[in-house]
Structure 1
Amino acid sequence: MTTERRIYLDHSASAPPDPSVVEAVAACMSGTYGNASSVHAPGRRAKAALEESRESFARLINAEPAEVYFTGGGTESDNHALTGAVAALRRREPDAALAVSAVEHHAVLECAGHLAGTGVRVVQLPVGSDGVLNLGEAERLIPSGPGVTSVMLVNNETGAVQPVTEVASLVRTRNGVMHTDAVQAFGKLAMDVRALGADIVSFSGHKIGGPKGVGALYVRRGTEVDALLYGGAQERKMRAGTENVPLIVGFARAAELAERNRAALREHASACRSAMLDELRKDVPGLLINADGKGVPHILSLSLDPAVYEADGEALLMSLDLQGVAASSGSACTSGSVQPSHVLLAMGRDERTTRATVRFSFGAGNTLDDARHAAGLFRGIITRFLRTSTP
């Protein structure tokens, strides 16, 4: 039976837009319809809106406007970063390798797999049981000569924060190129690309309450990255094709709001997380918290101990949805089949545990009562999956 009350706890999958973002997109679509490459007045208005958005976003991340390129989203940004940086580097260093952490988003891992198929040597960097990169192993495995290294800033499944600044410093000593996927980090952590130390950084719009289908790529001045698309001279010949100015305007507006509200949202998300955990810890056995104490408070990844429960993420999510709670699983859907989470497997969780995982992610629209109510519903749901005897 479905319920009237809906609680959205899946902000890390896609965050609802602020009304001002929707208004900005709509106003741009209706009033700034010219092609930004055209020299007439409507085209110049579109160009002005495009460049104002670029300047606005650049200020937020402490970059120069010329270092910001707009893309079609986080996946495109990651693919452009890896393929473009590897191709540019291998022209002068044919043996340049690619190192990626074992817990990267599939946009990075699948792209790395594709590059491996073209002859690029790909090295995977392990994480510990807390989901955080092992710096000692990273130092040993990252190519000793010029290469490309990709380590995300905040993990999308567990919220674990990676030591990107330390890795970037190591990569720099080896004359390599450092990329970080900051899709889940913007609006959760302070974003200063100079202090971060990465050469290339990926961003996404809809994770911060902006439109879907738009993102950005920061490329430090002097870093060589080949173009992704060829054709016109848009985005300084890095991404050919007419710019989607309304979505870019919406993205820039969402980014402004995300940074403005970052500190308040962190405090609020932390309170929601604590409220949910306090409720669950009362009488819920066999509850495992993934990357506990190592991540941002906006994400809460919970696994059920298979020795105590006989459950899978899909059944848990469907039950939650019927009770009015939207959340995500610790597994990824691939070609219609649920696969165990590569992130949790890399952390040492067994396959049964990874399949019995739910991710709750909090946003400004949630209340403490939402968190407590969702926890109570979740507690009631998982009791139905308690084993009657040990396996």
Structure 2
Amino acid sequence: MDRMRHYLDHNASAPLLPEAREAVVAALELTGNPSSVHGAGRALRKVVDDARDRVARRAGAEAKQVVFTGSATEAITQAIVGGVKAFDIDRVVIGATDHAAVLKAAEASGVSVRVLGVDKNGLIDIDALSRMLEAADAAGETLLVAVGWVNNETGVVQPRSRIEAIVGPTRHVLLLDAVQGFGKLDLDFSACATDMVAISGHKIGAPAGIGALLAKSHADTVRLVPGGGQEQGRRGGTEAAALIAGFGAACAAFAERFDLDAVGKLVTRFEQRLRQLAPEAVIFGADVERIGTTVNFAVPGVRNTVAMMGLDLAGVAVSSGSACSSGKVGRSHVLSAMGVDPALSECGLRASLGWNSTQDDVDAFFEAFEIVLTRHHGRGGAAA
């Protein structure tokens, strides 16, 4: 039996949906290559095509706009590195709180990178973005603007409609990192003014190792991995049919199993109990719109390393932020960009809920966290 009985780390990776598991196993029973023309190949091709349709429906996209990748990180890298070449981009613009995958891809793009600052709640500076676009227009430059829709650490939601309104109608290119918002917030890709969108499977209960890049027709030439013409010539390599099948199944099942309103109520109760237990606690991004799955907070003086050990021993899984930092725990670049004091940042914890979260999970967290706080105060309140 899994020792981690209460899993509150859905932003890192959601538990595998039963429907996704079944789809993966069924696809693994099939032998062949989706590109082969014989019967076995055609059977796998149908698996891939059916999954593509399901992902497209969930994203409000056309099936031909879905390009399967090995992860959202690959999709982001294809969009940025491949987009710089395809669109003859002069500069890449990213947000200071964007995921490391965006930053690393921008650094690898071969062009200069501009970083948009954020306010104390983590919202990007829209006025600064407008000025960058105006300056680029005056200089005859083309920008690729990458925006993280929902921050993976704080849950803060960027003003996507405002960003699309100033970038979308121009000749500049807009990429949306929708990893944390996909499947949870409405995304009508075909109708929106965003050129490309990166999404991930394992954030909604699909297996890890599968993502997708949604690309409008004018972005068909955006490439990263050359190969034998797979994925409509936009991403080489034999398709991982089993993982793709799991992604498609998760898109369909997640819509039935995930209720954002219900999860949001759990998060609201979580925050209420946190304030009762630790009135001094700081909830990051509390003054702006956040997705109703995530709470990132700090109790001054209680280091996240100590808190996470105590919670882990009690069978409760939370994190200190992004899981994409080679297992490191400590200060967060997101909180640093928001101007959070370094000492407080080192106390930051993230609880993220999802499709199978319950009140029991929240209760278990606070039962364990109260012990952590009691031990902390028992030492005279000194930082652990």
Q: TM-score, normalised by structure 2?
A: 0.92
What is the CA-CA distance between 1:335 and the residue it aligns to?
A: 5.6
Q: CA RMSD in A?
A: 2.1
Cα deviations across residues 42-81 of structure 1 (Å, max 9, x unaligned)? 0011111111211221122221111110000111111111
* Secondary structure class of the residue paired with 1:329: coil
Amino acid aligned to 1:44: R
SS of structure 2 residue aligned to 1:294: coil
Where does residue 205 of structure 1 map in the other structure?
201
User: Which residue number in structure 1 is paired with residue 355 of structure 2?
Assistant: 364
C-alpha separation between the residues in 2 aligned to 1:123 and 1:225? 24
Correspondence 1:175-194 to 2 at 5 A: 175-194=171-190
State the shift of 1:152 in Å.
1.0
* Amino acid of the structure 2 residue aligned with 1:18: L
Gaps of 5+ in 1: none
Q: Measured at CA, do residues 332 and 351 of structure 1 come closer, stay the same or move farther in structure 2, by a change above 3 Å? A: farther
The structure-2 alpha-carbon separation of the partners of 1:217 and 1:331, relative to structure 1 and needing over 3 Å to count, comes to closer
Number of the residue aligned with 1:18: 17
* Superposed displacement of residue 320, structure 1: 0.6
Alpha-carbon spacing, 1:162–1:195, altered in 2? closer, same or farther (3 Å): farther
Unaligned runs of 5+ in 2: none
Say which of 283, 286, 294 aligns to 2:280: 286
- Tell me, in whole angstroms, the C-alpha distance in 2 between the residues paired with 1:75 and 1:312: 29
Give the 3 Å change call, closer, same or farther, for CA 246–224 of structure 1 in structure 2: closer
Return 130-139 or 155-164, whichever deviates more. Answer: 130-139
Q: Pick from 248, 254, 273: which aligns with 2:250?
A: 254
2:98 to 89, 94, 104: 104
AA aligned to 1:78 is I
Q: Percent identity?
A: 36
Give the alignment partner of residue 43 of structure 1, picking from 16, 41, 44. Answer: 41
1:122-141 alignment runs, 5 A limit = 122-141=113-132
Deviation at 1:253, TM superposition (A): 0.7
The corresponding residue for 2:297 is 302
Write the deviation string for residues 96-132 of structure 1: whole angstroms up to 9, x where unpaired: 11100111111001111223xx3x1111111111111
Structure 2 counterpart SS, 1:156:
coil
1: distance between equivalents of 2:26 and 2:327?
Answer: 38
In the TM superposition, residue 259 of structure 1 has moved relative to its aligned partner by: 2.9
Aligned to 1:388: 380
Task: Give the equivalent residue in structure 1 for 2:107.
Answer: 113
Residue 355 of structure 1, CA deviation:
1.2
Moved over 6 A (4+): none
Structure-2 residue corresponding to 1:27: 26
CA distance in 1, matches of 2:363, 2:118: 32
- SS of residue matched to 1:380: helix
1:374 aligned to 360, 365, 372, which one? Answer: 365
Cα distance change of structure 1 residues 86 and 328 upon mapping to structure 2, 3 Å threshold: same
In structure 1, what is the Cα distance between the partners aligned to 2:294 and 2:84? 32
Contact 1:333 1:339 in 2 (8 A): no
The verdict on how the C-alpha distance between 1:245 and 1:332 changes in structure 2, with shifts beyond 3 A counting, is: closer
Matches of 1:130 and 1:191, distance apart in 2: 23
